[in-house]
């Protein structure tokens, strides 16, 4: 058996949250169901944030109520505070995601508080998640750079990672929100985080592809020892509080590369290509996955 890589599919949340036109709840539900059926162990399905801040995610409870639950699949949701956590609990989420930043400016813009305030806000969420037996994940935005502050010191990423681990996070996402990181930098950041966390089981790479570096960054993170990656089918996505940033690295591209490396994900690339084409059709534009579009053209 080749080495296993866990892919967290984030299109239903990160992929759709920035869409201007409201995507029907039924489409979101079908997206989650099709992704789970394609073999993803973990699907980020919804976000329980303020609907004033992110209107596209306002139907999270409806999405979670309507999806089919595949045994063994982890359905994750974003929870910035206790209000979000209560909604996640009611929605029977398997994993809740607290999301902070390694940059003060981004923390203010994205969740309206400082890094220290965010950690204080996450504390009761973390305690409640553990008490309820849920998995807890912590995302660190701007780990490779910030749209407002510029460079992010590696020490800031490590500091937030440590604070999130202290809260009891099972997994930490080192997130390149605006896709500015380059492979050497990713290697440096991951190795530094590796001083405080186990890279193969506790750390994921969450790369946006704005500067076309995401696949190279994944290879660099793999080399450092990371074995969990986030991706979005058809490369959909972006953060409303990171202007100009494009979507996450496309899942089809990641799977094509990992398959070529002889690594195992348990995910059916062919099914993912179909999902990417279907989703792009609904969003009214060509998908951003190079491998997805090439494989779809070969099929037709
Ligand atoms: P706030 O204004 O500081 O908080 O927002 P508040 O407690 O004063 O609440 C303001 C209003 O929101 C109130 O409603 C609350 O009831 C409501 P009003 O009285 O005005 O009618 N509210 C909520 N409603 C539903 N669910 C909740 C909730 N909490 C408060 N959970 C807050 C603070 C965090 C809520 C706000 O800033 C927010 O929702 N931010 C969301 C930002 C977001 O979702 N960003 C995108 C996701 S992060 C991301 O994409 C990065 C990631 O992909 C990794 C990477 O790439 O870097 C994860
Ligand atoms: Mg993101």
Q: Which ligand is nearest to the CA of 241?
A: 1
> What is the pLDDT at residue 27?
98
Kindly state the helix (H) or strand (E) to which residue 251 belongs, with its residue range.
helix 251-260
Domains annotated for the chain, with CATH where assigned, are: 6-299 (3.20.20.70)
Ligand 1 atom 28: the closest Cα is on which residue? Answer: 50
- The 10s digit of each residue's pLDDT in 229-288 is 999 999 998 777 888 788 999 999 999 999 999 999 999 999 999 999 999 999 999 999
User: Which atom belonging to ligand 1 lies closest to the Cα atom of 99?
Assistant: 58
Q: In angstroms, what is the span from residue 173 Cα to ligand 1's centroid? A: 19
- Which of these is catalytic: 142, 146, 169, 239? 239
Ligand 1 atom 43: the closest Cα is on which residue? Answer: 110
Indicate whether 187 pLDDT > 80: yes
What's the mean per-residue pLDDT of the chain? 97
Q: In angstroms, what is the span from residue 173 Cα to ligand 2's centroid? A: 10
Average pLDDT, integer, range 97-105: 98
- The 10s digit of each residue's pLDDT in 194-242 is 999 999 999 999 999 999 999 999 999 999 999 999 999 999 987 778 8
Ligand 1 lined by 112 (C-beta under 6 Å):
yes
Categorize the per-residue pLDDT at 2 as very low, low, confident or very high, splitting at 50, 70 and 90: low
User: Which atom belonging to ligand 1 lies closest to the Cα atom of 54?
Assistant: 44
Ligand 1 lined by 175 (C-beta under 6 Å):
yes
State the DSSP code for 239: -
Selection from 13, 176, 210 nearest residue 103 by Cα: 176
Q: In angstroms, what is the span from residue 82 Cα to ligand 2's centroid? A: 21
> What is the pLDDT at residue 300?
87
Ligand 1 lined by 14 (C-beta under 6 Å):
yes
Strands (E), 133-289: 135-141, 171-176, 203-207, 228-231
Q: In angstroms, what is the span from residue 216 Cα to ligand 1's centroid? A: 32
Indicate whether 1 pLDDT > 60: no
Write b or e for each residue in 13-48: b if 16 or more Cβ atoms lie within 10 A of its Cβ, otherwise e: bbbbbbbeeebebebbbbbbbbbbebbbbbbbbbbb
239 is catalytic: yes
- The 10s digit of each residue's pLDDT in 137-155 is 999 999 999 999 999 999 9
Residues 6+ apart with CB under 8 A from 83: 48
Q: Which ligand is nearest to the CA of 83?
A: 1
Q: In angstroms, what is the span from residue 97 Cα to ligand 1's centroid? A: 13
Are 76 and 96 contacting, i.e. CB atoms less than 8 angstroms apart? yes
């Amino acid at each position: 058996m080749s080495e296993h890589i866990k892919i967290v599919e984030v299109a239903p949340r990160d992929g759709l949250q920035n869409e201007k036109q409201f995507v029907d709840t039924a489409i979101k539900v079908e997206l989650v169901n099709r992704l789970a059926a394609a073999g993803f162990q973990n699907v980020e399905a919804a976000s329980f944030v303020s609907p004033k801040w992110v209107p596209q995610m306002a139907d999270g409870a409806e999405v979670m109520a309507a999806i089919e639950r595949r045994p063994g699949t982890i359905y994750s949701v974003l929870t910035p505070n206790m209000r979000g956590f209560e909604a996640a609990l009611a929605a029977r989420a398997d994993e809740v995601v607290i999301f902070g930043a390694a940059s003060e400016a981004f923390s203010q813009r994205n969740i309206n508080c400082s890094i220290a305030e965010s950690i204080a806000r996450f504390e009761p969420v973390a305690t409640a998640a553990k008490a309820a037996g849920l998995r807890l994940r912590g995302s660190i935005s701007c780990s490779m750079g910030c749209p407002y502050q510029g460079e992010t010191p590696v020490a800031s990423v490590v500091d937030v990672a440590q604070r999130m681990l202290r809260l009891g996070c099972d997994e930490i996402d080192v997130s390149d929100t605006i896709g500015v990181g380059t492979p050497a930098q990713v290697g440096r950041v991951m190795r530094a985080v590796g001083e405080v966390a186990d890279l193969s089981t506790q750390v994921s790479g969450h790369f946006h592809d704005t500067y076309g570096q995401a696949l190279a960054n994944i290879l660099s993170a793999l080399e450092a020892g990371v074995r969990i990656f986030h991706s979005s089918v058809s490369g959909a996505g972006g953060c409303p509080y990171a202007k100009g940033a494009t979507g996450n690295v496309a899942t089809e591209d990641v799977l094509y590369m990992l398959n070529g490396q002889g690594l195992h994900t348990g995910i059916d690339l062919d099914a993912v290509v179909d999902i990417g084409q279907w989703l792009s059709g609904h969003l009214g534009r060509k998908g951003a996955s190079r491998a997805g579009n090439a494989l779809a053209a070969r099929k037709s």
